[in-house]
Structure 1
Amino acid sequence: MAGNLNINSVIKLFIIALLFTSCKKNYDMQQKFIENNFLTIVDTMAYQQGSFRPLPPLPNKAIEDVVLYSNLSVKLVDTIVYNERLQKDIDSFFNENKDLKIAFQDVLNNNNYSEFILSASFPKKIGKYHIFLNQEYENKSNKYVGEIEIQNFKINKDKAFLIVSKSVGHSRIVFIEFFMREKGYWKLVKKEHLFES
């Protein structure tokens, strides 16, 4: 009887270790996806605009001097979650874009959205963006461009999509972005504006 308890304990520990390893591998893959594609997800418009929100056009289409910012700060919400309120927008988008719905059917059929917290090891700088996670903005020598929040993230083998919100003050613009992996690299295949608030 004591031998059976030891074997059962070993089997249980093995299963727990296997589950932990599997979850950690999945988590690492999800965070790496965001790290490796950060400039594509966020885009680099703020390099010229100094903000995630484009400036309104000047009267008479006057040409203004372009300022290239070299030190930009962005707040990145470190919690990647499923936002049920956005699901209606996602469903409407797919109903209007049947070709994408077919192309991403395997991702849609995977009912699980990725929910995780970006680790403290997330890079503090990518491109010209100095990234801070959920803390107050402190470095006044960098131009603050806004806040990024990633939600409703799904990844399945070689396809992924996510919702990215860019906020500046009380203004927010929301996009849905679609990625496919080709030859080992993720490529943005479509980015669509969903709404502004």
Structure 2
Amino acid sequence: MLTETKRLLLERPCTEDADGLHQICSDPRVWRHFPSLRHADLEQTQMMLDQFIAVWDRDGLGPWVVKNPSDQRIIGYGGCSAKQDMFWNLGYRFAFDTQGQGFATELAREAIMAAKLRRAELPIVAYLLEHNAASARVAEKVGLTLAHRGIDAGNPDPAAIRLVYADRELTAEELAHIML
């Protein structure tokens, strides 16, 4: 499945995407907000890619591989994934040299539209660390509002604060599932 925006190609992931995704996932500059999640080897990226493919097979929607239309280079990944059959998780990650150009916002808008077409009854959320101001700006630009702020349980940094943005008010049960 191919989706085109004004400046991006959004493609359903396939096994051939592993090397291009690994270039992004292994770059420490991409993970400055959560360094412990950086991929140390290609196997980690392959496992992530396998999960993306499984999500698409299960739900008909998941994270896209983002390509530059002019040269077909993988420049990022992201989209909405259904989690626990309770909410859509909006996520985005881009190569360091492409950050700050509005690509995450462009991707997020397309992902939200696709998720609402699939299952509009599920809330759309983006959860991120408080010090990741750029990611918070993207969430706000696409219409999500701050729904929760609290300690990020399980984070290697005990002072880390987790923010949850949502497209609607969340019930206590929804928030509990999101914070798992």
TM tier relative to shorter chain: under 0.3
Q: Which has the larger radius of gyration?
A: 1
The TM-score with structure 1 as length reference comes to 0.24
More strand by share: 1
For normalisation by structure 2, the TM-score amounts to: 0.26
